[in-house]
Amino acid sequence: MFRNLAWVGVLAAGLATAGWASAPGAAPATGWLKGHFAQTPLGRLLSGSVGRLLVLRSDLDLTQEQRQQIREVLGSHRVQIVQTVKSLHDKRTVLRDAVLQGQSDDQIRTAAGDLGTAIAEAAVKAAKLRSQIAPILTETQRQRIGQFIADQDQAVGRFLEQAGQ
């Protein structure tokens, strides 16, 4: 299930990046992660992920026409995207609360199963969006996104290696 969640996260990040890239001047402020946490393995992983997203946004070099087409695709699915994100958030909150409240193993498993179902639905919707957005991009842009995903996987692998030591 973690791998599925990771892929949904990558897909969501990709969709967010595509939407973000389609909005001129929408980059976040730099230096957002500060303090001791920024120097921890998890802090470096998060910071690196944001950095890689910024590099990807720049490297994609979307044309104005591509930005507009992506904006139209995302806009036409806005209601479904919001509903999907809300469902994921709600199911994740129920699971978190079940764990924090010390509910029974069965209740926690049920909440986790519900979250898994929501993740599956989000993945299916993300795949449909991907099928509409991918043709807008050039082969080079699609390769750069693939490299971004590979870099993210490597970063998570390094984090897990460090955490296991």
Residue 165 lies in a domain: yes
Same-domain check for residues 113 and 157:
no
- Model confidence, pTM: 0.66
**Residues 49-74: pLDDT tens digits?**
777 777 787 778 899 999 999 999 99
All residues at 6 or more sequence positions from 78 whose CB lies less than 8 Å from its CB, including other chains:
none
Same-domain check for residues 85 and 125:
yes
Range of the domain at 142: 41-62+138-165
What is the predicted pLDDT for the residue at 8?
45
pLDDT at 41 over 60: yes
Residue 76, Cβ neighbours under 10 Å: how many? 12
**Residues 20-32: pLDDT tens digits?**
444 443 334 345 5
Same-domain check for residues 162 and 112:
no
Q: How many residues does the chain have?
A: 165
SS3 47: helix
